Structure 1
Amino acid sequence: MTPDDKHLQPRRTPRQIRAELTRARILAAAAHVFAELGYAAGTTNRIAERAQVSIGSLYQYFPGKDAILVALVTDHLARETPDLDEIAAGPLADGVRAMVHAAVRNHDDDPELLSVMMQQAIRWPEVMPLMADQQRRRAEEVRAFLDRHPEVDVADTNTAAHLVVTTVGVVAHWLTAAPAALDPRSLEDEMTAMLTGYLTGR
């Protein structure tokens, strides 16, 4: 984001447990308000009321609901990649499943909120670089995982990493938020088999 994007930036970075809990409460309340009422009706007053904080306390952390939504999008993206270092020594299919499971669970938690986040986020050009940067960093982590895993057999692990990250994210989004959403367990099984087969050349 540029210096002019102050309406999308949090005002205060929590440095103590109490402050972090207050921030988390505000975001949890906003998630419920946006999912139930939509973004237009999800005012900061309603968010503060749901979070049981004063409107002044809310504004200590966020300049407005746009910044709250950006924080929700950022947190949502950050949850989609598990700690690959912890699973690098196991079978490749287990690592792929961990990535798929994290994305499916993240999208399945609240598809209504996810729909609000995606619809609103694309309104701001400032948000797209944020999402692109998160995507790039996730792809770098996955590439490092692929580079050191003995079962991987692809010509270009950089391209493969981007394909894996994009496929997992897009498929999880569309097939869990759809009106006729697929069974999460079945979706995980099929995506794991598909991506493992691609990465191993089998």
Structure 2
Amino acid sequence: MPLPRKRPRQQRSKETYDAILEAAAQLFERDGYARATTNRIAERAGVSIGSLYQYFPDKDALLYALGERHMLGLTSRLLVTLSELRSTNPPLPQTVSAVVRAVADAHTAEPGLQRLLYDRAPRPRESAARLREVQQWIAAEVEHHLHRLAVGGPNRGLTALLLVQSIEAQLHGALLDPPEGCTAAQVVETVESLCLRALARP
């Protein structure tokens, strides 16, 4: 499976790497995977095709790197949100809403690229393991708030993990392809409602 050839270490190399990735994201979003050739990506990034191939052997490697960037962005958004929740300790509805909307924000940016990542991005074993690590980290934070709010049943660790996984799956699919007549805002509100009902005390 084609992966990025190497990671940049020097600042100038990092700037080149980031410029290529951003150019790929823009062209994939605007023109689709088939029309966004490596030559056009290199031209948009302002680098030679040789410089592009120094880091990325083909478009699949670019998709892989964009998937990693997406996961890093999601993690950063959630880190900010979860830190705020730790400091403010809001009631259950606001806590659920903050988590759901942080995940939703990551999926509503660059929708064309998101669809491409969902449909075509390579998913090697390392990426799957990293995703599980991120989910477990988020679940640990969610479990903290379940304890704080005295909801989630006797096995709050399991409840937190299932909540995190279900929120990600529901938002990813429904925000890419909302049911006819539904807006993204309605999708997010419905996911929040489902989480609150699942956490309702008996």
The 4+ residue runs of structure 1 with deviation greater than 6 A are: none
Residue identity in the other structure for 2:174? L
- How much has 1:40 moved relative to structure 2? 2.8
1:119 CA drift (Å): 1.8
Separation of aligned partners in 2, 1:100 and 1:108: 12
Of 112, 124, 128, the residue aligned with 1:132 is: 128
- State the TM-score, normalizing by the size of structure 2: 0.79
Alignment of 1:44-83 (within 5 A): 44-81=38-75, 82-83=78-79
What does 1:133-172 align with in structure 2 at a 5 Å threshold? 133-149=129-145, 150-154=148-152, 155-172=154-171
Selected match of 1:41 from 15, 28, 35: 35
Change in CA separation of 1:69 and 1:170 when aligned onto 2, cut-off 3 Å: same
Q: 2:4, 2:55 within 8 Å by CA — same for their partners in 1?
A: no
Greater CA drift, 150-159 or 177-186 = 177-186
Question: Partners of 2:103 and 2:17 in 1: how far apart?
Answer: 23
SS in 2 for 1:12: coil
**CA distance change for structure 1 residues 23 and 67 in 2, over 3 Å: closer, same or farther?**
same
- Identity, in percent, stands at 33
Q: Specify the SS of the correspondent of 2:199.
A: helix
Whole-Å separation in 2 of the counterparts to 1:77 and 1:70: 11
CA RMSD of aligned residues (A): 2.5
Moved more, 94-103 or 46-55: 94-103
Distance in 1, matches of 2:181 and 2:5, equals 34
For 1:108, the equivalent position in structure 2 comes to: 108
Task: Name 2:7's counterpart in structure 1.
Answer: 12
What TM-score does the superposition give when structure 1 sets the normalisation length? 0.79
Name whichever structure is richer in helix by fraction.
2
Residue 55 (structure 1) shift = 1.3
The number of residues matched between the two structures is: 192
**Whole-Å Cα distance in 1 between the matches of residues 182 and 9 of structure 2?**
38
Q: Which runs of 5+ in 2 are unaligned?
A: none
Per-residue Cα deviation, 1:52-110 (whole angstroms, up to 9, x for no partner): 22212222332322111001111212333411233224224334323222222222122
Note the C-alpha offset of 1:200. Answer: 5.0
Q: Give per-residue Cα distances to partners, 1:19-69, cap 9 Å, x unaligned.
A: 333322211211122223322332211111121222122223323221110
Structure 1: where are the runs of 5+ without partners?
none
Structure 1 pair 22–35 and aligned structure 2 pair: CA distance change class (3 A) = same
Q: 2:171 touches 2:188 (CA, 8 Å); kept in 1?
A: no
Alignment partners' CA distance in 2, 1:137 and 1:104: 19
**Which residue in 2 is equivalent to 1:199?**
199
**In structure 2, distance between residues paired with 1:68 and 1:159:** 35
The 8 Å contact of residues 93 and 196 in structure 1, kept in 2 or not, is answered as yes
Corresponding letter in the other structure for 2:177:
A
What's the counterpart of residue 175 of structure 1?
Answer: 174
